[in-house]
Chains A and B, each alone.
Chain A
Amino acid sequence: MLEDMNINDIVGEYKQITLDLYAIGARKFFYTEIETPYPEGKIIVSTSDTKGVITHVNHVFVEMSGYTKKELLGKNHAILRHPDMPKMPFKELWDTIQSGKKWQGIIKNLRKDGGYYWVKATVIPNIKNGVIVGYTSVRRKPSALVVAEFIKRYPTLRGSK
């Protein structure tokens, strides 16, 4: 369960939609067309438990997401899920990491203020004594070409820049 976005946090003209998120349930979104360009050199680091609940964030995560560290810890990673993102990559991500394998892909992430940023994400299962105990994720700046290719593949993203 993830609470709805707060309209008071949104900056700029926004759209509104309620979506049923994979493994999470319904959430009301407010989102804008404002992109926060991913800064060169920075790498987002986070860990989560086996259900995707955030257990650790670095300062770059805080900066890019617009949430405070306190707001992020204990929340499901789906708090970053952008309504434009198709379900398929997330299903593929969860199927892959739950089977003990590593996943990498392009993701459009949603900020607290309704804006967005693109990342190239890598997620790996943390395995202890043969059991998955959580996940570690790193996100970095994707190349513009790779993002453009990704947008072409998914109709829901075709309006994206």
Chain B
Amino acid sequence: MMANRFTVSPDFSPDYLAGWYLFNKWMQKQTGLKIDLELYGNFYTQRIVTYSHADLVYVNPFDASMLVHDKGFLPLAKVAGNFDETVIVVNSDTPINGITDLKPDLKLAMTEDPNINMIGMMLLEAVDLNDGNIEKVIYDNYVLIVKNLLEGHADVGLFLAKAYDELSWVVKKQLKVLLQSEVGEIYHSFLISPALAEKRDEIQSLLIDMDKNKEGQDVLRALGFDAWIKVDDEEMAFMVNLIDALSIQS
């Protein structure tokens, strides 16, 4: 039996790594499908795999909208109460207390998480910071952004709010949040490829009912989730349009 490939946006805390393997095991047991979970340490590699041969994905809103729009992926579910917001962070030792204190020529640390960067730049544009007057430095993941902020190699960092929240209190004590976005409409999504479309209803039902039994609840807890909620085509079409609108910078 040919294995189906499952991949996840690399923006979750290392604390949940084992959780994703547990989830994959649960999926295989429930569906009878052979599913290989492929996790990557950076967005670039994960995106190449996702776009070339993934069958099941749990991805950020930008990649979700691209996969639906360009590759015909179908939405299955999202995590209850989980929206993708962006936080702008500096080292707690700096005298900067708000984005209005930020000046041109700063070094902005970011991952390749497109919607986080998009929203982050949108928020900075309000204080006249843009691609033309700041230096962007791309790191593989949020842990490296923390490291570079703490070592003074970067002035400001952009984080997925959830990823920032999941940092240890020891780390967060050394950082300062200047601003958090408030959009409330975009979220990570679980999608299925068109090649596996005949399994859509079955997998969607399994996910939605996952919090209704002890085994499912234990796996969800290992991922830091409460429950999956159904995402239908219309709701996903709304997010695709919204990401399109948000993608337009000046």
Q: How far is the CA of A60 from the CA of B242 in the complex (A)?
A: 15
| Docked-complex contact A43 and B238, CB < 8 angstroms | no
Docked CA distance A135–B98 (Å): 34
Give Cα A60 to B123, complex, Å. Answer: 15
- A104 within 8 Å of B by Cβ? yes
In the complex, per-residue mask of B158-182: 1 if CB is within 8 Å of any chain A CB, else 0:
0000000000000000000001111
Given contacts A47-B238, A138-B245, A138-B246, contact A143 B128 (CB under 8 A): yes
CA distance A59 to B242 in the complex (A): 15
Given contacts A124-B245, A136-B242, contact A42 B122 (CB under 8 A): no
State the interface size on chain B (CB cutoff 8 A).
25
Which residue from chain B places its CB closest to the CB of A121 in the assembled complex?
A: B245
The distance in angstroms between the C-alpha atoms of A136 and B186, with both chains bound, is: 14
Assess whether A58 is in contact with B185, with CB atoms less than 8 Å apart. yes
State whether B126 touches A143 (Cβ < 8 A).
yes
Q: Say if the beta carbon of A54 comes within 8 Å of chain B.
A: no
Q: Tell me if A109 counts as interface (CB < 8 A to partner B).
A: no
Query: What residues on A are CB-neighbors of B238 within 8 Å?
Result: 47, 56, 136
Distance in Å: Cβ of B81 to nearest Cβ of chain A: 14
The answer to whether B248 touches A58 (Cβ under 8 A) is no
* Distance in Å: Cβ of B4 to nearest Cβ of chain A: 30
Contact indicator per residue, chain A 41-85, by CB within 8 Å of chain B (1) or not (0): 111010100000000101110000000000000000000000000
Main secondary structure of the interface of A (DSSP, over half): strand
A20 to chain B, nearest CB (A): 29
Interface assignment of A13: CB less than 8 Å from any CB of chain B: no
Chain A residues in 8 Å Cβ range of B57: none
**Out of A40, A122, A142, A145, which one reaches B245, CB within 8 Å?**
A122
Specify which chain A residues have a CB less than 8 angstroms from the CB of B180 in the assembled complex.
41
What B residues does A138 contact at CB under 8 A?
Answer: 242, 245-246
- Does B213 interact with chain A (Cβ within 8 Å)? no
Q: Which residues of B have CB within 8 Å of A104?
A: 248, 250
A58 touching B183 in the complex, CB below 8 Å, given contacts A104-B250, A122-B248, A138-B245: yes
For this complex, 10 residue pairs linking A to B, each with C-beta atoms less than 8 Å apart, are A40-B123, A41-B123, A43-B119, A43-B122, A104-B250, A123-B245, A124-B245, A140-B123, A140-B125, A141-B126
- A residues whose Cβ falls under 8 Å from a Cβ of B: 38, 40-43, 45, 47, 56, 58-60, 102, 104, 120, 122-124, 126, 128, 136-138, 140-143, 145
Known: A58-B184, A60-B184. 19 other contacts (CB 8 A): A40-B99, A43-B183, A45-B183, A45-B242, A56-B238, A58-B183, A60-B182, A122-B246, A122-B248, A126-B237, A136-B245, A137-B245, A138-B245, A140-B126, A141-B123, A141-B126, A142-B126, A143-B126, A143-B127
